[in-house]
Amino acid sequence: MRSYINELFARIEKDTELKNSVKIIGIAAGNNKDDVAFEEKKYDFPIVPDGQYAFHQLVGQPPTPFFIFARPYGNGRLLVLDSFLGRLEDTDKLFAMVKAALKKSLSSSPVKQNKRQNDQVPDELVIPVEDSELEKMISQGLTVNGEHADKIKKINLKELGDVYTGVLKKSKRQLFARVVARKIPCVDCQDVFFIYSFDDMGKFLQFIPISISKLDNEKWDEKDRNKMQNNYKGKSLLTERHFNPKVDAISSATISSQVIYNSMGETELVIRKLMDMGVIKR
Amino acid sequence: MAAQGCSYEGIKNKPPANVRGFVFCVGAFFTMIKKVHILFAFILLGTSLFNLTVEAADIPKGLPREGDIISAFSVPVPNNQTFISYLMLKERGIFQPAEMDVKLLIIEVMNVY
């Protein structure tokens, strides 16, 4: 299944002109060292784990596979010479693209640089439900033992998205519901939209899917939601959790589950921001 | 029959044979083709143009394309495991493309699951 890139790698390594000039690396979005170590033997070229989606976000959260042909441009920067999305199993065509990109790289005439550099914002994801329905879901997230939080207000945390907060009347406990919209590093997967709630100590409360799909675009059902809810039930979101696909993933939705874990792992950052803004007082 | 319309019989200064042959063939072609062939030709032309534009439009907005500069490995954010792992390529004796004499780096953004 993976053979076409390995085949390209072999062709480059055999070609005396290309061997020392062209290198292939894989960047595994959302995969940690252990995932990569387990799968690395399938690949003839080195794979760099990108467990926190740092590189994936830097390049605009593409579906995978996404290919970038680039020339090192000093100080760790890369000048993009070509790129394409999806599988290209015609290795002859792929090889021709490599040669064309190398020609551009070696050309004395500079590649025309785009005005926008590193600030290209991908299309913002639109929550796929009506505002009224979203409000109901947020209200559900800000509910503990049947008691609804009061004085709900919205806080925009820029790249961390919107967080809604409210206070329980009796206990004065402050609750938060974060609305998450994420792209998935997978070519046939649907974007993920969900809400999760927690208190000011970072204790997990509820997981509410807005729109999450499994393989073949089948929507998550109540059983899937309950499994994710139980994965976090009673736990603190401030403790680092390593995603184990065999245990933690929803069946036929491994990459979506991985993205959800990654998003929930940002809670510490969310709480720190809320503290900086004075929303959470210590 | 088709050649009659472009026959040079009776003309004193005949063009060279290869020109006559060419004109004969062009004339024969336009006599024989039907409207359906013209339509078919337009469909073929349209399809090829469409394919050309689809290839360029395949890269959604926000993804790197020719001419973009990406700070792929220049932001040593604390806990940026990607950056650290990238640096480890050198430690592992593989290579460090940004600082070595590599002319072209091919990056496949993937997910191993």
Q: Among A147-156, A203-212, B48-57, where is mean pLDDT lowest?
A: B48-57
Residue A165 is which amino acid? Answer: T
Q: Do A68 and B106 touch (CB under 8 A)?
A: yes
Quick one: what percent of chain A has pLDDT higher than 90?
53
Q: Do B110 and A65 touch (CB under 8 A)?
A: yes
Please give, rounded to a whole number of angstroms, the shortest distance from the CA of A152 to a CA of chain B: 34
pLDDT above 80 for A74:
no
pLDDT of A139 reads: 96
**Tokens at A36, concatenated:** 């990569």
pLDDT above 70 for A6:
yes
Which residue positions in chain B have pLDDT lower than 50?
A: 1-8, 10, 50-57, 77-78
Q: Looking at chain A from residue 155 to 194, which residues have their Cβ under 8 Å from any Cβ of chain B?
A: 185-186
**A4 close to A91: Cβ distance less than 8 angstroms:** yes
Q: Do A23 and B95 touch (CB under 8 A)?
A: yes
pLDDT of A183 reads: 87
A125 Cβ under 8 Å from any chain B Cβ? no
What's the pTM value of the predicted model, to 2 decimals? 0.71
Please give, rounded to a whole number of angstroms, the shortest distance from the CA of B60 to a CA of chain A: 8
pLDDT of B5 reads: 44
Distance between CA B103 and CA A17 in Å, rounded?
11
Quick one: what percent of chain A has pLDDT higher than 70?
94
pLDDT of B27 reads: 72
- ipTM for the assembly: 0.77
